[in-house]
């Protein structure tokens, strides 16, 4: 499954939506807050900011030092909540130790929570209300499955990973009426993961463990979505490492009917869905203001 191709379609549609709003005097704005200088977080933030600019959105990246206090970050988020030009707020995780991420997530206005991590949005996802925001990675996986016309109704889906960012919302989406999958969630305490994956029509791997899923763990014809992004040492690469997923691509592709590569699978979808969420936030805000 080609995430780059599907994501580019999403981005085209988002850019058209942005242009429409701009013509009505509203420029969707995404503000990204980066605390500290973790290189991986800085790279994610750069690509999010670049993509939002390409979409024609406004917005900025607020870079705060690693020594930022919780009170300072709270003030920044409150200012963004109050700013009518800001439609989406994203605080890049992880945050430094002195800051309680749960407090920050709960502080973001749910209507601007384009990451979909606020408990209000998590709750809406769980009860099937569609006016919240769905976390971008599982939303991107759902779009890939739809684009490739993967039959989910009655399918057995095995999700590996139970994080609040990927595994749990993924399972919640797959089990919703209309999607209608039968979902098994595996995690680090699961006994014999292979026994579950071998009965799966769809496997979504989101554990952050390179090579966790191998071809012999898959049923022939299974659909495999690899969310994992793991750095493995690679002396041949200029960076000294390369990115791999949780799935051993070479052995899995022999068995799977569809599989996402890493990179070029779920990653581009995540950022495209962030853009879509930001557009939707701006459209809702425009509707409320009668624009």
Binding residues vs ligand NAP (CB under 6 A)? 137, 160-163, 165-167, 186-190, 193, 206-209, 212, 227-230, 266-267, 270
How many angstroms separate the CA atoms of 163 and 228, rounded?
A: 12
Which token pair is 20?
């429409």
Q: Which residues contact 207 (CB under 8 A, 6 or more apart)?
A: 160, 161, 187, 188, 228, 246
CA Rg value for the chain: 19
Is 92 a residue of the active site?
Answer: yes
Closest CB 13 distance from ligand NAP, rounded Å: 19
How many angstroms separate the CA atoms of 15 and 196, rounded?
A: 41
From 115, 201, 226, 246, active-site residue: 115
From 48, 112, 124, 168, active-site residue: 48
| CB nearer ligand NAP, residue 21 or residue 45 | 45
| CB nearer ligand NAP, residue 86 or residue 144 | 144
Is cis: bond before 100, omega within 30 of 0? no
Q: What's the gap between Cα 22 and its chain centre?
A: 26
| CB nearer ligand NAP, residue 222 or residue 227 | 227
Is 149 a residue of the active site?
Answer: no
Closest CB 47 distance from ligand NAP, rounded Å: 11
Which candidate, 183, 184, 181, places its Cα nearest to that of 151?
A: 181
| CB nearer ligand NAP, residue 26 or residue 143 | 143
Closest CB 74 distance from ligand NAP, rounded Å: 24
Tell me how crowded residue 133 is: count the other CB atoms within 10 A of its CB: 28
**156, containing H or E segment:** strand 156-160
| CB nearer ligand NAP, residue 137 or residue 285 | 137
Closest CB 260 distance from ligand NAP, rounded Å: 9
Closest CB 56 distance from ligand NAP, rounded Å: 23
Q: Which residues contact 27 (CB under 8 A, 6 or more apart)?
A: 18, 21, 56, 57, 58, 85, 282
Contact 160, 206 (CB under 8 A): yes
- Enzyme catalytic residues: 48, 92, 115
């Amino acid at each position: 499954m080609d995430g780059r191709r599907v994501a580019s379609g999403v981005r085209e549609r988002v850019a058209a939506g942005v242009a429409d709003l701009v013509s009505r005097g509203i420029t969707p704005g995404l503000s990204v807050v980066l605390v500290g200088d973790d290189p991986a977080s800085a790279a994610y933030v750069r690509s999010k900011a670049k993509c939002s600019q390409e979409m024609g959105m406004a917005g900025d990246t607020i870079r705060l030092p690693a020594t930022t206090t919780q009170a300072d970050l709270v003030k920044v988020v409150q200012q963004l909540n109050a700013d009518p030009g800001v439609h989406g707020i994203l605080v890049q995780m992880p945050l430094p130790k002195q800051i309680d991420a749960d407090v920050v997530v709960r502080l973001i206005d749910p209507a601007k929570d384009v990451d979909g991590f606020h408990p209000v949005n998590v709750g809406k996802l769980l009860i099937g209300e569609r006016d919240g925001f769905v976390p971008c990675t599982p939303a991107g996986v759902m779009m890939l499955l739809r684009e490739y016309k993967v039959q989910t109704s009655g399918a057995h889906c095995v999700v590996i990973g139970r994080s609040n960012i990927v595994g749990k919302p993924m399972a919640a989406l797959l089990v919703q009426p209309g999607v209608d999958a039968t979902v098994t969630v595996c995690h680090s305490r699961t006994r014999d993961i292979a026994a579950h994956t071998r009965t799966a029509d769809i496997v979504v791997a989101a554990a952050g463990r390179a090579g966790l899923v191998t071809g012999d763990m898959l049923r022939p014809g299974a659909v495999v979505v690899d969310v994992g992004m793991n750095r493995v040492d690679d002396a041949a690469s200029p960076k000294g490492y390369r990115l791999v997923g949780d799935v051993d691509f070479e052995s899995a592709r022999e068995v799977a009917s569809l599989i996402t590569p890493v990179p070029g699978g779920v990653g581009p979808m995540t950022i495209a869905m962030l853009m879509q969420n930001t557009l939707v936030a701006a459209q809702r805000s425009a509707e409320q203001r009668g624009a």
